[in-house]
A and B are shown apart, each in its own frame.
Chain A
Amino acid sequence: MIEAVGLTKRYGDKTAVYNLSFQVRPGAVTGFLGPNGSGKSTTMRMILGLDNPTSGQVTIGGYPYRRLPNAPRQVGALLDAKAVHGGRSARSHLLSLAQLSGIPARRVDEVLGVVGLHDVARRRSKGFSLGMGQRLGIAAALLGDPQVLLFDEPVNGLDPEGILWVRNLMKALAAEGRTVFVSSHLMSEMALTADHLIVIGRGQLLADMSVTDFISANSADFARVRTPDTEPQQREKLSAAITEAGGNVLPEQDGALRVTGLALPRISDIAHDSGVRLWELSPHQASLEEAYMRMTQGAVDYRSTTDQKAGLQQPLPPGAQPPMPVPGQGQPGWYAPPPPQQGGQPFAAPQGVPAQAPAGPYGAPGAPGAAPGAPAPNPYAQPAPQAPRTPPGAAPAAPPAAPAVPPTAPAADLTKPEDAR
């Protein structure tokens, strides 16, 4: 059991962690989420007594770490995978840590087997990949067979098989009744691994709840309903009928309706009763990642701006055409997969490009597969300036910016099926 009470850490003027109070209970994987620079690692270091809190305190099993009896046998931690002397072999590194806490050398070979590094145990860790370094760090955390485990970004640099392994390892450790505290900036990863979530932003607590609660609180299911674009009055009619039946209707940018509070068959019945034809009626779930983004939006410290490449691009010779952009690369709004309400459109609309589709300099209206409304601000990225990058008239042949992107990006689906559990 880890317990933080009013934990605050200041470095000079900068407050890294402010008034943080939480509990990490045994028998569960607790995810510790926050954007880069939100104070996750600082908190982890304070738990381990490496940094002294400016005020407040954090205890493990009731003791501050530095007064915990036989600490390395009770607490294991992976803080920084690269924190290894590159000239030392993996085995020597672990052996030196094992000897610190009186752990027999046999245990070193055991954990090397557990993390799958026995073949490279005597190689210098300098040549290790990031993934191998993570495995070595995890091995170090497991050495003392501790009841409390802390992992700071354990899946960084791991291959999919390694990620799955870490995920199962955490769950197994928690199932044995241990306290497992894992930090990450990936909501999708935590949704699969953690039972409980602690979300911080700018060093302050944003959420402390179970994953199930987080999902039900943040990712409401909704139905997407599309009426024939040619008959706007049908849309009005359906909206009214649904509202009357107790549903909530939100118009979407491409003319579809987002309906919450009613089951799909009920929506279908209402449409039938009011004589409205439907082009689409599909179930959707707002992704957990999106909910997390919304929660931490105001707390992001480091934002990207669009790379203007000013001064790097050579002026095109007259008449020359710029290279065709590869879909999904270097286009505004493509820094991350589109969120469900805009991109999650399984059936391509054959027609009906609304007014906000990019016209003008890019020309080529109604390009095949042009998903309407796609250039809308993407909540994953900074609201990128939507202005065309090339001066008007310079690039007549370029396709529309974002619409060329396949609307259902595979990555957007990653979190969906599992989140539904």
Chain B
Amino acid sequence: MAATQVVRSEWTKIRSVASTVWTLSLAVVVTIALGMLISALSRNEYETLGARERLSFDPTFISFAGMSLGQLAMIVFGVLVVSNEYSTGMIRASLAAVPRRGTFLLSKLTVATALAFVVSMATSFAAFFLGQAMLGAYRASIGDEGVLRAVIGGGLYMTLIALFSMGVAAMLRSPMLSLGILMPFFFLISNILGNVDATEKVGRFLPDQAGSRIMQVVTPPGDDTPYGPWGGLGIMALWVLAAVVGGYVLLRRRDAQ
């Protein structure tokens, strides 16, 4: 069983369903459009900001504001890619054809992650340039210190979110259960934990809180986060690794229902 065969098959699977196109284009549109909107609003409000707020004004990060919503579409993409197999029962045909379950899962994740990576990178660059265009005079340039890192990091962040969702879906199998856990977690719970003083210290080690650090160029004054941009992405990568390994171990052990 050559892995290339499985990869080719997974590519056929992923491009032959409409949900791939829908979820990915939604992620692109929402991220870019919301980023542009918030950038435009920020430009108009800049005059009213206090000196302290002007110091922490981060044009790069503002243009990525759409990612908080766009990542939800990425989550749906990641969950559906994996859990479709279970909800349709296709998993039985797939595993009957690929008895090596590790090969099967890794090929699937490779194809879906590669696709997510391409889309995320394009989205990240588009969101940055269009967002900066909206910011007018307050814009950052791609050549400024840390900006290119933040833009590439934005693409990596979205890719990792998708991969994390795939790992979780491989563990939970049901699309409803996976989405029901991931969506509120990333949209609400993580934000609450990260912003309430009592839980902030724990909250910032959650995958999205840690990972989004890489998109910040300007560190807010008084920031005591114990990791840097790449450290944050590393923490997120550990979360992703844990989810994927969990999915792999469970897939190997469990009956294919």
Chain A residues near B (Cβ < 8 Å): 45, 48-52, 65-68, 70-72, 75, 77, 79-80, 82-89, 92-93, 95-102, 140
Contact, CB under 8 Å: B96 / A48: yes
Q: Using CB atoms, name the residue of chain A closest to B103.
A: A100
* C-alpha gap A70/B98 in the complex (Å): 9
Contact of B9 among A79, A82, A97 (CB under 8 A): A97
Contact of A85 among B2, B84, B98, B255 (CB under 8 A): B84
Contact, CB under 8 Å: B88 / A92: no
* C-alpha gap A97/B12 in the complex (Å): 9
Contacts A52-B255, A102-B2 given; does A88 touch B96 at CB 8 Å: no
Chain B residues near A (Cβ < 8 Å): 1-2, 5-6, 8-10, 12-13, 16-19, 84, 88-100, 255-256
Contacts A50-B96, A102-B2, A102-B5 given; does A96 touch B89 at CB 8 Å: no
Contacts of A70 in B (CB 8 A): 1
* C-alpha gap A414/B255 in the complex (Å): 39
Contact, CB under 8 Å: A85 / B90: yes
* C-alpha gap A243/B28 in the complex (Å): 89
By DSSP majority rule, is chain B's interface helix, strand, loop, or mixed?
A: helix
* C-alpha gap A96/B92 in the complex (Å): 14
* C-alpha gap A85/B175 in the complex (Å): 14
* C-alpha gap A222/B97 in the complex (Å): 50
Contact, CB under 8 Å: B255 / A50: yes
* C-alpha gap A123/B140 in the complex (Å): 49
Contact, CB under 8 Å: B13 / A96: yes
Q: Using CB atoms, name the residue of chain A closest to B253.
A: A52
Contacts A50-B256, A68-B99, A87-B17 given; does A80 touch B89 at CB 8 Å: yes
Contact, CB under 8 Å: A79 / B92: yes
Contact, CB under 8 Å: A87 / B93: no
Q: Nearest Cβ distance between residue B8 and chain A, in whole angstroms?
A: 5
Contact, CB under 8 Å: A75 / B96: yes
* C-alpha gap A40/B150 in the complex (Å): 56
Contacts of B12 in A (CB 8 A): 92, 95-96, 99
* C-alpha gap A102/B7 in the complex (Å): 11
Contact, CB under 8 Å: B255 / A100: no
Contacts of A93 in B (CB 8 A): 16
Q: Nearest Cβ distance between residue A89 and chain B, in whole angstroms?
A: 7
Contacts of B91 in A (CB 8 A): 83
Contact, CB under 8 Å: B89 / A82: yes
- The 26 listed contacts between A and B (C-beta, < 8 Å) are A45-B92, A45-B255, A45-B256, A48-B95, A49-B95, A50-B95, A50-B256, A51-B255, A51-B256, A66-B100, A70-B1, A71-B1, A71-B97, A72-B96, A80-B92, A83-B89, A83-B93, A84-B88, A84-B90, A85-B84, A86-B88, A87-B17, A95-B9, A95-B12, A97-B9, A101-B1
Q: Using CB atoms, name the residue of chain B closest to A72.
A: B97
Contact, CB under 8 Å: A97 / B93: yes
Contacts of B9 in A (CB 8 A): 95-100
* C-alpha gap A96/B6 in the complex (Å): 9
| New A-B pairs, 13, CB < 8 Å, besides A72-B96, A97-B9 | A50-B95, A70-B1, A80-B89, A83-B90, A84-B90, A85-B88, A93-B16, A96-B16, A98-B9, A100-B94, A100-B97, A101-B5, A140-B93
